[in-house]
Chain A
Amino acid sequence: MSEDQSRGRRRPSREQQGSGSRSPQETLPSSAGGGDSRRRREREPSDEPRPSKVYKKEPISPDRSSTSSRNENSRKEQPSTSAGSRGGGGDSADAGDNASKRERYEIVHTRPSDIQTKMGSGGAPVTLQTNYYRLLTKPTWRIFQYHVDFSPPIELRRVRGGMLSEHRATLGGYLYDGTKLFTSCKLSEEKTVIRAKSKFGDSYTIVIKYVGVISMTEWQSLQILNLILRRAMEGLKLQLVGRNFYDALAKIDLREYRLQLWPGYQTSIRQHEKDILLCAEIAHKVMRTETVYDILKRCTETARDFEEEFRRNVLGLTVLTDYNNKTYRINDVDFSKNPTKTFKCKEKEVSFIDYYYQKYHIRIRDQKQPLLISKAKDRAMRGGSSDIIILIPELCRPTGLTDTMRSNFQLMRAMADHTRMNPDRRIDRLRIFNQRLQQTEASVQVLNDWNMALDRHLVELNGRVLEPQRIVFSEHRKESAGVQADWTRYFRENGLFTTPSRGLERWSVIATNRNSRELRNFVESLIRAAGGMQMRISRPREIMLYDDRNHSYIQAMEDCSRQDPQLILCLVPNNNAERYSSIKKKGCLERAIPTQVITQKSAGNQRGLMSIATKVAIQINCKLGYTPWMIDLPLSGLMTIGYDVAKSTRDRSKAFGALVASMDMKTNATFYSTVAECSSHDVLANSLWPMMTKALRQYRREHENKLPTRILFYRDGVGEGSLRQVYEHEVKDVVEKLDQEYKRCGSEKPPMFAYVVVSKSINTRFFMNRGQNPTPGTIVDDVVTLPERYDFFLVSQSVRQGTVSPTSYNIVYSNIRLTPDQMQLLTYKMTHLYYNWSGTTRVPAVCQYAKKLATLVATSLYQPPQNALEKKLYYL
Chain B
Amino acid sequence: MEKNTGEDFATCPYDNAHRVLRSRLQLHLIKCRLNHPHVELQKCPLNQLHLVPEAEFERHLMSCPDRKIIAHYKYVDEMKFLKHDPIESEENWDDTESGNYNPETYARSNQIIRKPVGPPSKRKAFRHEEEERWQQLNRL
Residues of A within 8 A of B (CB): 14, 17-19, 22-24, 40, 43-44, 48-51, 111-118, 215, 217-219, 221-222, 271, 274, 276, 315-316, 331, 375, 378, 381, 472, 476, 497-498, 625-627, 630-637, 652-653, 665-670, 676-677, 679, 681-684, 686-691, 693-694, 701-702, 709, 724-725, 728-729, 733, 737, 787-790, 811, 814-815, 817-820, 822, 864, 867-868, 871
Contacts and interface: CB of A to CB of B under 8 A. Distances in A.
B22 to A, nearest CB: 5
B77 to A, nearest CB: 7
B97 A51 contact: yes
Given A114-B105, A476-B87, A682-B49, A676 B30 contact: no
Contact of B96 (A116, A679, A817): A817
A184 to B, nearest CB: 19
Contact of A666 (B45, B87, B101, B112): B87
A726 to B, nearest CB: 10
B113 A217 contact: yes
A688 B49 CA distance: 12
B36 interface: no
B16 to A, nearest CB: 20
Interface residues of B, number: 66
A271 to B, nearest CB: 4
B42 interface: no
A271 B130 CA distance: 15
Contacts, number: 218
6 contacts: A44-B96, A215-B134, A690-B66, A787-B112, A788-B112, A814-B101
A634 B26 contact: no
B52 interface: no
A682 B113 contact: no
A632 B113 CA distance: 42
B90 interface: yes
Contacts of B49: 682, 686
Nearest to B77: A868
Contacts of A498: 82, 84
A688 B23 CA distance: 18
A497 B49 CA distance: 43
A112 B82 CA distance: 36
B69 A219 contact: no
Contacts of B101: 114-118, 790, 811, 814, 820
Nearest to A109: B97
Given A632-B89, A668-B82, A687-B47, 18 more contacts: A14-B94, A24-B94, A43-B95, A44-B96, A114-B99, A217-B130, A271-B112, A632-B88, A667-B86, A682-B26, A690-B46, A690-B69, A787-B110, A788-B104, A788-B107, A790-B103, A817-B98, A868-B77
Ranked nearest first, the 9 interchain pairs of A and B with the lowest CB-CB distance are A24-B95, A634-B91, A112-B99, A632-B89, A681-B23, A819-B98, A271-B113, A702-B81, A790-B101
B127 A19 contact: no
A677 B64 CA distance: 13
B59 interface: no
Interface in B70-118: 70, 72-73, 76-77, 79, 81-107, 110, 112-117
Q: Is the interface of A mostly helix, strand, loop or mixed?
A: loop
B48 interface: yes
Contacts of B23: 378, 681-683
Contacts of A115: 98-101
Contact of A114 (B85, B100, B107, B110): B100
A728 B27 CA distance: 10
Contacts of A819: 96, 98
Contacts of A666: 86-87, 89
B25 interface: yes
B73 A694 contact: yes
B131 interface: yes
A788 B115 contact: yes
B21 interface: yes
B15 interface: no
Contacts of B47: 686-687
A632 B87 contact: yes
A737 to B, nearest CB: 8
Contact of B46 (A111, A219, A665, A687): A687
Given A215-B131, A702-B81, A630 B98 contact: no
B51 to A, nearest CB: 11
